[in-house]
Amino acid sequence: MIHNTRHKIELSRVFIEDDALINKKLPKELLLRIFSYLDVVSLCRCAQVSRSWNVLALDGSNWQRIDLFDFQTDVEGPVIENISRRCGGFLRKLSLRGCKSVGDVSMTFLASSCCNIEDLNLNGCKQISDNTCHALSKNCPKLQRLDLTSCCAITDLSLKALSDGCPQLTHINISWCENITENGVEALAKGCKKLKSFISKGCIQVTDKAIGCLAENCHNLEVINLLGCISIEDEAVTKLAENCMRLHYLCLSGCSHLTDTSLIVLAQQCHMLSTLEVAGCSQFTDTGFQALARSCRVLEKMDLEECVLITDTTLIHLAMGCPRLEKLSLSHCELITDDGIRQLGTSPCAAEHLTVLELDNCPLITDASLEHLISCHNLQRIELYDCQLITRAGIRRLRNHLPNIKVHAYFAPVTPPPSTGGSRQRYCRCCVLL
């Protein structure tokens, strides 16, 4: 209250000293409200106009949400400390994504000065260590979102600290923090039971036990990304499906130990699933995707790249059971043929919603598939790299019907025919091409 009174007195004094017309016409409260919509650059420019505008522009209430990504190369510790002093308890959201020079000292100062912060992005701040998370735990009980992507020095101690001091945490990203193990994830799960989003791409030490503990304690989970968590097996997915039925985004790409058991249990429990990414899950078959298509009817985005065992049967079931499908990747699914694309292209989902179709390295796909996609009026992009049976003429016909579509394809140079005769070739193949 004392701070607010002093602040009003200071504003009034400055406005008396500054006789600019705009200051006479508009109440300072209205000007302050206008300034609240400006970005960092605009506020700094306004601060140089006059003494009254300097006070308004640098008022902490205008600095509740700050993104310093555009200034990442210049941002160092003193900048963060100055922002901390200026914003104080006003600061709610801060992004330091890519600010590689920011370290523990300035972040500790920020945590102690800005105790009401709710959203903090430290993606790529490689000098950050466990000390920062200890400071956040001690001073910032309202923290809800934290991005620690590529903060390589972060360990289990950080997650244990967050578990102790940040019970309101709902979103956390620890991708590529390779020192984090199942112990840290278990501690986080037991203290931060309001988690809705858990992203741990590339955390190879995250195990079934860790994900099981997360599932048993955090029933509100909606987003899970376990890309590259190579030790994950069906048991972990089963516990997620049985305990977190609100899941709508799930990435299991690179979890090559998984089998159809995972897809079947997801089909039985997670009917709200809208995005499923399972690239590289090479043991999945038509059986699993048949179960999924029958029960998960709100699926919109699916990445099935390198699910090498699936056939046209999967496309038939997706066409019948997933009417909202918008984006589908079938790259490196080498058993897919024109008939599967025909089933997909003539389905309600393709005609109304399909916008992206990826078919890279599908060797059995021909121009006939492109003919089947002509009725997909919303198709915006198709990937056809290394589809050897697709021709330029087929692509031209598709573009005649869908003039705005982006087609990504590559046509390798024609290989010279082998030499006929017993004489030795005068030039090597490279020389011939050149």
- Residue boundaries of the structural domains of the chain: 15-62, 270-411
Determine the pLDDT at residue 419: 56
Helix, strand, coil percentages (3-state) for the chain, rounded to 5, are 45, 10, 45
Q: How far apart are CA 373 and CA 381, in angstroms?
A: 11
Question: Using CB atoms within 10 A of its CB, is residue 18 exposed (0-12), middle (13-18) or buried (19+)?
Answer: middle
pLDDT tens digits for the chain (434 residues)?
445 555 555 545 544 445 566 666 677 788 878 877 888 778 778 878 888 888 887 787 888 999 988 777 778 899 899 889 989 999 999 999 999 999 999 999 999 999 999 999 999 999 999 999 999 999 999 999 999 999 999 999 999 999 999 999 999 999 999 999 999 999 999 999 999 999 999 999 999 999 999 999 999 999 999 999 999 999 999 999 999 999 999 999 999 999 999 999 999 999 999 999 999 999 999 999 999 999 999 999 999 999 999 999 999 999 999 999 999 999 999 999 999 999 999 898 788 899 999 999 999 999 999 999 999 999 999 999 999 999 999 999 999 999 999 999 987 665 665 655 544 444 444 333 32
pTM: 0.87
* SS3 call for 408: strand
Residue corresponding to tokens 């036990």: 209
Determine the pLDDT at residue 430: 38
377, 378, 381, 387 alpha-carbon torsion, rounded to 10°: -40
Q: How far apart are CA 340 and CA 359, in angstroms?
A: 12
Contact between 93 and 64 (Cβ < 8 Å): yes
Determine the pLDDT at residue 22: 67
Determine the pLDDT at residue 426: 44
DSSP code per residue over 249-309: EEE-TT-TT--HHHHHHHHHH-TT--EEE-TT-TT--HHHHHHHHHH-TT--EEE-TT-TT
The DSSP bridge partners found for residue 329 are 303, 358
CATH 3.40.50 fits 15-62, yes or no: no
* Closest to 304 (Cα-Cα) out of 323, 284, 287: 284
- Architecture of the CATH domain 270-411: Alpha-Beta Horseshoe (3.80)
